[in-house]
C-alpha cells in the first residue's frame, strides 16, 4: 500500500532538480565564512525577510534557541504564546541551555492579545526577574496553522518596543503566512526584530532554517550557533537545497492551503469528527475525533492501517498537514481512507 503521509510538511523528499542543485553546489568552509552557497542563501533570505543579515542554522529549533540566547541574559523571562512551539516542542532548551524562564500568555488562534503581553512585562522591582524578549509565532502550529495579520503582530511589537523589549518571530512557516495574507514576506516580518524561517517545512528542503535580523545581532548569533555545534563546514550542499526551495517552492504554497481546506471540508462531513474551520487558514488541519468514541492515538493507529500517516496532537485531536508531496488526488483518497478507518 502507498501511504499518504500527512504527519508533517517536514516529510517531503527532495526532487531531482533540488538534488542536482545540491550536487553542483559551489562550497567552502562556512565556519571561515567561505561557503559561497551559504552566503548566497543568507543574502536571499535577508532580502526576502527585509532584514539586514541572516544566518543559516541546522533547524528551526536551533534558529529559535540561537535567537533567544543572543537576545537575552540568563535568568530573563521570555513572553510567548501558551502553546507556542518554542515552549511546547523544543525540549525546554530555552531553560535547560539558556537559563531563560518562559512566561506563557494565552492567545486566540495563536495571536497574542497586546494587553495581556503588556500585563506580563515585569516592572522595575528588585525582586523580579527581568523581561528579556517577546516571541511571536506565525503561522501558529498548535493553533492549526492559523495566521496572525500584520496589524495584530504590529500591536504586540509596539507594546514590546515601548518597553524597550525586542521581538522575535518563530516564522517556521512564515512563507505560508505571507501566502495566506497575500503580502510580501518582508511586510509580514516587518513588525519584528528577528525571525527564524524553516526551509525544511513547506518549502521542501531536506535540512535547514535561516535566522534573520540586524547585522550586529547576526554577528553575535553566529557565535552562539558555533557554541551549539551548528558551525557547519561545506554547508553549501545544504544551502543549495534551500536556494532551490526559495526559487521553486514558494509560489505553489497556496496549493497546499487549498488542499488543507479541501481535507477540512471533507472531514467535517464525517460523523464523530469535529473541526473548527476558522483555524484552517494554511496547510494544517487539526480535528477532534472524540465523537467517534476513540482516542486520537487510537484513531491514528487505525489510519495507519488504512494507509494514512497522521499524528495525534492531544488525546482528542489529530493533525493533517499538506505539502508538496501530497496532491488533490491523495487528499481525496485520504478522506476515503479516514471513512474506512472509522467504519463510516
Ligand atoms: C517545526 C517548527 C519549528 C522547529 O523546526 P525544526 O526544524 O523541526 O527544529 C519551530 N517552530 C514551529 C512553529 C515549527 O512548526
**Tens digit of pLDDT for each residue in 9-22?**
999 999 999 999 99
What pLDDT is recorded for position 128? Answer: 98
Q: How far apart are the first and last CA of the chain?
A: 21
| Helical residues (DSSP H) of 163-196, grouped into ranges | 174-181, 185-189
Query: If you average pLDDT over residues 323-338, what whole number do you get?
Result: 98
> pTM of this prediction?
0.97
Q: What is the mean pLDDT of the chain?
A: 98
For a mutational test of ligand 1's pocket, the pick from 59, 60, 195, i.e. the residue with the most ligand atoms closer than 8 A to its C-beta, is 60
The residue contributing the CA closest to ligand 1 atom 3 is 60
Q: Is the pLDDT of residue 344 over 90?
A: no
Instruction: Considering the chain, tell me which residue range(s) the CATH 3.90.1150.10 domain(s) occupy.
Output: 252-342
Kindly report, residue by residue over 113-156, the tens digit of the pLDDT: 999 999 999 999 999 999 999 999 999 999 999 999 999 999 99
Q: Which helix (H) or strand (E) holds 210?
A: strand 209-213
Instruction: Considering the chain, tell me which residue range(s) the CATH 3.40.640.10 domain(s) occupy.
Output: 16-248
For domain 252-342, the question of CATH label 3.50.50.60 is answered with: no
Tell me the CA–centroid distance for residue 124 and ligand 1, in Å: 34
Residue 248 binned pLDDT confidence (cut-offs 50, 70, 90)? very high
Query: If you average pLDDT over residues 90-104, what whole number do you get?
Result: 98
Q: How far apart are CA 342 and CA 344, in angstroms?
A: 6
Tell me the CA–centroid distance for residue 317 and ligand 1, in Å: 19
Cis peptide before 331 (omega within 30 of 0): no
What pLDDT is recorded for position 100? Answer: 98
The residue to which cell 514558494 is assigned: 250
> Residue 270's closest CA among 297, 303, 301?
303
Tally Cβ neighbours within 10 Å of residue 247: 12
Q: 138: Cβ below 6 Å to ligand 1?
A: no
What pLDDT is recorded for position 1? Answer: 86
- The fold adopted by the segment(s) 16-248 is 3.40.640
Ramachandran class of 297: left when φ > 0, alpha when ψ lies in -120 to 50, beta otherwise? alpha
Tally Cβ neighbours within 10 Å of residue 70: 24
Residue 2 binned pLDDT confidence (cut-offs 50, 70, 90)? very high
HSE, side-chain direction, 13 A CA sphere, residue 142: 16
> Residue 324's closest CA among 95, 73, 13, 60?
13
Amino acid at each position: 500500500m502507498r501511504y499518504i503521509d500527512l504527519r508533517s510538511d517536514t516529510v517531503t523528499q527532495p526532487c531531482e532538480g533540488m538534488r542536482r542543485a545540491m550536487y553542483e553546489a559551489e562550497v567552502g568552509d562556512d565556519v571561515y565564512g567561505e561557503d559561497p552557497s551559504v552566503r548566497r542563501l543568507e543574502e536571499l533570505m535577508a532580502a526576502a525577510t527585509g532584514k539586514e543579515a541572516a544566518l543559516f542554522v541546522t533547524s528551526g529549533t536551533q534558529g529559535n534557541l540561537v535567537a533567544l540566547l543572543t537576545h537575552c541574559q540568563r535568568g530573563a523571562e521570555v513572553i510567548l504564546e501558551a502553546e507556542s512551539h518554542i515552549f511546547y516542542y523544543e525540549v525546554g532548551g530555552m531553560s535547560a541551555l539558556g537559563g531563560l524562564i518562559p512566561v506563557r500568555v494565552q492567545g486566540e488562534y495563536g495571536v497574542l492579545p497586546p494587553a495581556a503581553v503588556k500585563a506580563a512585562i515585569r516592572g522595575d522591582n528588585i525582586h523580579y526577574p527581568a523581561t528579556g524578549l517577546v516571541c511571536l509565532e506565525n503561522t501558529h502550529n498548535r493553533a492549526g496553522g492559523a495566521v496572525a495579520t500584520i496589524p495584530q503582530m504590529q500591536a504586540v511589537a509596539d507594546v514590546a518596543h515601548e518597553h524597550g523589549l525586542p521581538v522575535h518571530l518563530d516564522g517556521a512557516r512564515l512563507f505560508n503566512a505571507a501566502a495566506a495574507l497575500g503580502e510580501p514576506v518582508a511586510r509580514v516580518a516587518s513588525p519584528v526584530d528577528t525571525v527564524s524561517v524553516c526551509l525544511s517545512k513547506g518549502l521542501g528542503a531536506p535540512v535547514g532554517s535561516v535566522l534573520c535580523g540586524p547585522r550586529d545581532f547576526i554577528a553575535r548569533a553566529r557565535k552562539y550557533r558555533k557554541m551549539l555545534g551548528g558551525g557547519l563546514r561545506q554547508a553549501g550542499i545544504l544551502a543549495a537545497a534551500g536556494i532551490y526551495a526559495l526559487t521553486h517552492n514558494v509560489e505553489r504554497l497556496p496549493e497546499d492551503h487549498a488542499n488543507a481546506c479541501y481535507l477540512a471540508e471533507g472531514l467535517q462531513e464525517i460523523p464523530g469528527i469535529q473541526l473548527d474551520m476558522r483555524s484552517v487558514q494554511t496547510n494544517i488541519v487539526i480535528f477532534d475525533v472524540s465523537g467517534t468514541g476513540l482516542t486520537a492515538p487510537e484513531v491514528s493507529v487505525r489510519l495507519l492501517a488504512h494507509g494514512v500517516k497522521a499524528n495525534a496532537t492531544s488525546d482528542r485531536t489529530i493533525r493533517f498537514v499538506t505539502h508538496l508531496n501530497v496532491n488533490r488526488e491523495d487528499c481525496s483518497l485520504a478522506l476515503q481512507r479516514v471513512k474506512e478507518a472509522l467504519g463510516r
